[in-house]
Chain A
Amino acid sequence: MMPKLNVSNAVAALICAALILLPVYSAATGNIFILTLFTRITIYALAAASLNLIMGYGGMMSFGHAAYLGIGGYAVGILAAEGIGSGFIQWPVALAVSALFALLIGSLSLRTRGVYFIMITLAFAQMAYYVASALSRYGGDDGLTVYKRSDFAGLINLSDRNQFYYLCLACLFGGLYLIWRIVNSRFGLVVQGVRSNEQRMQAIGFHANRYRLVCFVISGTICGLAGALLANNTDFVSPAVMYWTRSGDLMVMVILGGMGSLFGPVIGAIVYLLLEELLSQFTEFSGLILGPVLLLIVLFARGGIMGLLGRMRRV
């Protein structure tokens, strides 16, 4: 299907172009800071997009999504600490462990609905947090320094700022493309059908929970990839990545940008992290402004930023 030309799609296209051209701008002005900032933003955007897949399309409100960021990160960090530096091993392991974790907690959590689902996913993420805090061999509470970024046998150099940025961006675009294809596939339509009327989908012969679970696992795996990127970006992974407030951050990005719209989480991540960064430039009390801004957005801008754009006149 051909995307329609309207305000939200135009904004999305502009942002994509800006993201692609950012290293050029950074090189021309010598502004390295903006590149590192946006590397972080693209990684969080990928994580938020994966959360949007289950929240926006699947109706599964996971309050423990940051767990996969930590799991993907720890997979990279622990393998690196044990002397396995190859990204060809680290990254598949990170994805596989995230997928397994998602399969485990998904198959248990999906027995519950609504608020109970929110709480049980939170509980599992907190468990992962405490397990990581107790890994004294790998830094425990203090976290684990990743001394060497993943090695891709000369194919790509993760220590190069530009190359790493484009890798993150490629992962983001790849993730978005995957999510777009999933959402518009038969599988994705079933998942969305289950969100709007589970009983009816059951009645016409779909095993609702099985579809939900697969969707949940895909989402967790994509977020695990974001975790592997994040560990490489910060050269560090700590239990704090999995703390519940971080899951809250991801949720905020999704809702802020617009839940259930493909590009919404990307805008949400950009706005949220930029706002945080800008506010911290001129005040150390950024929460004093950021908090009420979130409140106002909820009160006056339903459907997030994408919802606002969608209500604007078609171009």
Chain B
Amino acid sequence: MYLVVEQLLNGLQFGLLLFLLAAGLTLVFGIMDFVNLAHGSLYMMGAYFAATFVAWTGSFVLGALMALGATLLLGIALEYVALRHLYGRDHLDQVLATFGLILFFNDAVRLIWGPAGLALPLPTWLTVPVQIIPGVYYPAYRLMIIVVALAVAAMLYLVVMRTRVGMLIRAGASNREMIGALGINIKLLFTLVFGLGAALAGLAGLMQAPILTVQIGMGENILILAFVIIVIGGIGSIRGAFMAAIFVGIIDTMGRAFLPDLLRKVLSGAAASTAAPALSSMLIYLLMAIILVLRPEGLFPAAKR
């Protein structure tokens, strides 16, 4: 029972992290109609920046904040120099260009930080387990991820639904040309949205960094998961991304935790130990395939364009 609670929390934590990544992706996709494969690279850069700045300043929080700022700036620079010229182009052109950026960032990181991964050590006050309900302890750091990600999600909701900028973002998602025609500085808006997405990806990367190692290519696997989420949730829909991210996080984590035991009850030991890891890794993709076959527009499609 305790194990189930713990794994549920792990799933929630992973899902929220995925949401941070997917939110930026779905905004950029929904508003600029831009497929950004390099989003995973921004996630990786966030983690590398954090590892560097934390080691440099000696403070986890300060280093994390600096890393966040650095990823934001990097995102804005990237948009300004290259990506803004690709809006309105064919999706395939965007795929090719941002695929090139992945190659660039991977080797840039190899050049600057070396091929070996980095570790981002946690400060001691985050390593203690916290008793959440009697008898169940949960690592403070993972708890902090949940809290921070929920706070960011709430903030994102408030910004998008309650502010003027948010109104413009939503308007941009439903009709780009129209808000341009109404005299809104659409270029600036796009740059802002891209920077916001980059910062969110960086935040996800730097928060994930202490749990996994910081390494080259860390963004590639998770990028695909983020794409799965925005496709399941419906492209351009933040609410959909949120639901789908939590859904995917929990299913993925629970699948990895409990599927092997479940399979062992049905199949023989050898067959189960072969099938379990494959099935638990595939679960998400299987889910997406089923959802797309049944509802090709995703579960929570954004307003019709």
A interface residues with partner B (beta carbon < 8 Å)? 55, 61, 63, 108-109, 111-116, 118-120, 122-124, 126-127, 130-131, 133-137, 244-245, 248, 251-252, 255-256, 259, 284-288, 290-295, 297-299, 302
Contacts and interface: CB of A to CB of B under 8 A. Distances in A.
B147 interface: no
B230 to A, nearest CB: 9
A291 B107 contact: yes
Contact of A124 (B103, B235, B274, B289): B289
Contact of B296 (A113, A137, A298): A113
A124 B96 contact: no
B278 A134 contact: yes
- Interface range on chain B (Cβ under 8 Å from partner): 35 or more
Interface of B: 29, 35, 37, 82, 85-86, 89, 91-97, 99-108, 110-111, 220, 224, 227-228, 231, 235, 273-275, 277-278, 281-282, 285-286, 288-289, 292-293, 296-298
A292 B104 contact: yes
A245 B220 contact: yes
Given A245-B220, A287-B103, A133 B281 contact: yes
A294 B103 contact: yes
Contacts of A120: 231, 288-289, 292-293
Contacts of B297: 116
B99 A123 contact: no
Given A127-B282, A133-B278, A287-B103, A248 B95 contact: yes
Contacts of A244: 220, 224
Given A291-B107, A298-B97, A299-B86, A136 B91 contact: no
A126 B296 contact: no
Nearest to A249: B99
B96 A255 contact: yes
A130 B279 CA distance: 8
A126 B224 contact: yes
A127 B231 CA distance: 17
Contacts of A288: 104, 107-108, 111
A111 B293 contact: yes
Contacts of A297: 96
Contact of B85 (A55, A291, A294, A299): A299
A295 B101 contact: yes
Nearest to A254: B92
B150 to A, nearest CB: 27
Contacts of B273: 136
A136 B107 contact: no
Most chain B beta-carbon neighbours within 10 Å: one of A111, A116, A293: A116
B104 A291 contact: yes
Contacts of B37: 248
Given A131-B278, A134-B274, A134-B275, A115 B235 contact: yes
Nearest to A61: B92
Contacts, number: 146
A265 to B, nearest CB: 13
Nearest to A123: B285
A112 B301 CA distance: 14
B289 A123 contact: yes
B100 A290 contact: yes
Given A120-B292, A255-B96, A115 B228 contact: no
Contact of B227 (A108, A122, A127, A259): A122
A284 B110 CA distance: 9
Contacts of B275: 134
A64 to B, nearest CB: 10
Given A108-B289, A287-B107, A295-B97, A251 B92 contact: yes
Contacts of B29: 115
Contact of B86 (A108, A109, A124, A298): A298
A285 B107 CA distance: 5
A133 B279 CA distance: 11
Contacts of A134: 274-275, 277-278, 281
A285 B93 CA distance: 24
A255 B85 contact: no
Contact of A115 (B35, B282, B285, B288): B35
B103 A251 contact: no
Contacts of A295: 82, 97, 100-101, 104
A61 B277 contact: no
A55 B90 CA distance: 13
B92 A255 contact: yes
Nearest to A245: B220
A130 B275 CA distance: 10
B227 A116 contact: no
Contact of B111 (A137, A285, A292, A299): A285
Nearest to A243: B220
8 contacts: A120-B293, A122-B227, A126-B282, A130-B285, A134-B278, A286-B103, A294-B99, A294-B103
Given A133-B281, A291-B105, 18 more contacts: A112-B296, A115-B235, A116-B298, A119-B231, A127-B282, A127-B285, A130-B277, A134-B278, A134-B281, A252-B99, A256-B96, A285-B110, A291-B101, A293-B100, A294-B97, A295-B104, A299-B82, A299-B97
A256 B34 CA distance: 19
B267 to A, nearest CB: 13
A126 B246 CA distance: 21
A252 B107 contact: no
